[in-house]
Structure 1
């Protein structure tokens, strides 16, 4: 699926956006992907984000991080985090 968080297109758009090189097409792709992810988070309260989904969600944390569903999604990700499976750099998300 082209606009799922794990699609190569979304990953590339997220990388460009992080480097402040996002164009309107990249922004639109990320907005669509995070919108679908947010709907899933609200629809499935016990859902645990994948590493790719968490990266996308974390990019938009300013938008969702203070909402109960957003806090729960972040907490559940870290409660199920396994560095051996996630290959992450170990950085954490902080909600302001």
Structure 2
């Protein structure tokens, strides 16, 4: 919950419009800093979310992986492999038509 508030505070700081030529650059600088902070906050945890599309059942899946349990933190060994995942369905989200 605290991390969500940090992210909200990060984007609450709206770039101030300055008059003149440097105003546009300042706005981009603030947006760039916000994007970098947001990216860092996403990478801060010890988990990685993997999305799997087009399963034989026709479903898509989201799997959260603890990076401490991976052989390779860069996940290069996951690219071409075939795996069985044992888990529990927590929530199924239907499509709105």
The TM-score, its normalising length taken from structure 1, stands at 0.29
Q: Which has the larger radius of gyration?
A: 2
Q: Which has the higher strand share?
A: 2
Q: Which has the higher helix share?
A: 1
Structure of higher RCO (CA pairs closer than 8 Å, 6+ residues apart): 1
